[in-house]
Amino acid sequence: GQNIDQPTEMTATEGAIVQINCTYQTSGFNGLFWYQQHAGEAPTFLSYNVLDGLEEKGRFSSFLSRSKGYSYLLLKELQMKDSASYLCAVIDSNYQLIWGAGTKLIIKP
């Protein structure tokens, strides 16, 4: 079967760095997405990785290793507004989007 695993919840301190991991087992791979979702809102696109390596975009970076079926989202200089759920999603060979259940990130002052 197809599966996306990410931690259910994480807690970090304002100003610190946090890494949210995502592992996947899917039938084929056409890219991996990270989304941020605040309660009551639709997911907001953060990053897209299709090749191995690190993609940096401001305070957020995303890493992919296709051979390991692994990705992480790195958030630096955490702000209170970063408190949200972070969703990992993979496009499989049939162009189906397989979603993880999301990681709830709690930022403490």
Partner 1 sequence: GAVVSQHPSRVICKSGTSVKIECRSLDFQATTMFWYRQFPKQSLMLMATSNEGSKATYEQGVEKDKFLINHASLTLSTLTVTSAHPEDSSFYICSASGGEKLFFGSGTQLSVL
Binding site for partner 1 (CB under 8 A): 30-31, 33, 35, 40-45, 48, 50, 87, 89, 91, 95-97, 99-102
Helix, strand or coil, per DSSP, at residue 103 = strand
Task: Give the contacts of 100 (CB within 8 A, at least 6 positions apart).
Answer: 4, 5, 6, 22, 24, 87, 88, 89
Would you give the distance in Å from CA 14 to the centre of its chain?
19
Q: Name the minimum Å distance from CB 91 to partner 1.
A: 6
First-residue to last-residue Cα distance in the chain = 40
Nearer to partner 1, 69 or 102 (CB): 102
Output 18 or 87, the one with its CB closest to partner 1.
Answer: 87
**C-beta closer to partner 1: residue 33 or 72:** 33
Find the shortest distance in angstroms from Cβ 17 to partner 1: 26
